[in-house]
Amino acid sequence: MHCPFCRHPDSRVVDSRTSDDGSTIRRRRQCPHCNRRFTTVETASLSVVKRSGATEPFSREKIAGGVRKACQGRPVSEDDLALLAQKVEETLRSAGSAEIDAYEIGLAILGPLRELDEVAYLRFASVYQAFDSLEDFEAAITVLRAERDGTEDVDDTAEPVQPEDEAARTS
C-alpha cells in the first residue's frame, strides 16, 4: 500500500478493526518515510458467476428481490427478507470462496426460505429447480411434510401419501 502523501511504497499497520458484521477491516497505517497516518478499508469480495460466465458483485438486495416475488401475498415482511438475504450472504461467505455460482445462491436461499414460509419456498423451488409436473410439486411437498412431521406434532388431517410403486405393479 503506497503512502497517499509521499508515495512511499511501504506502510506500517498501527491498528486494525473489524466492522460489526465482519465484512470489512479498517486499518490505521503509518508511513515510515513521512510519518503521516492514513486509513485503509479492506473488503472481502464476493462475486457471482452467472450462467453466461459473466461475474457481478454479490448483492443482498438482489437476493431479497428474487425472494420477494415468491413471497407475494404471504405474511413475509421486508425485515424477514433482509434477514434472509443476510443469512444467505453469511452462508456463502463461510464457504470461503471469492466466487460463487448463481446456482449455489439458489441452494443457499432454499433452507432459510423454507423456515420462513413453506408456500413461498415451494414457489421459489418450482422456478429454481424447474419443476415441470405436478409430481415434482408432490415430491417437494412430501419432503416438507415428512420433515415437519419429524420435528412437530403430526397433523392428523393430512392425507396419507400414496405409495410410489403403484405404476410399477400394473406394468
Interface with Zn ion by CB under 5 A: which residues?
3, 5-6, 8, 31, 33-34
131-163 burial, b at 16+ Cβ within 10 Å, e below that, comes to beeeeeeeebeeeebeeeeeeeeeeeeeeeeee
CB of 50 to Zn ion, least distance (A): 42
Minimum distance of Zn ion from residue 5's CB (angstroms): 5
Cβ closest to Zn ion, residue 38 vs residue 128: 38
Query: Which C-beta is closer to Zn ion: that of 28 or that of 33?
Result: 33
**Is the sign of the CA dihedral 79, 128, 141, 111 positive or negative?**
negative
Q: Please tell me what DSSP assigns to residue 133.
A: S
Shortest distance, CB of residue 41 to Zn ion, whole angstroms?
19
* Other residues' Cβ atoms within 10 Å of the Cβ of residue 79: 8
Q: Which is nearer to Zn ion, 34 or 158 (CB)?
A: 34
In the complex with Zn ion, the residue whose CB is nearer, 32 or 65, is 32
Q: How far is the CB of 32 from Zn ion (least distance, A)?
A: 8
CA 85 to chain centre: 6
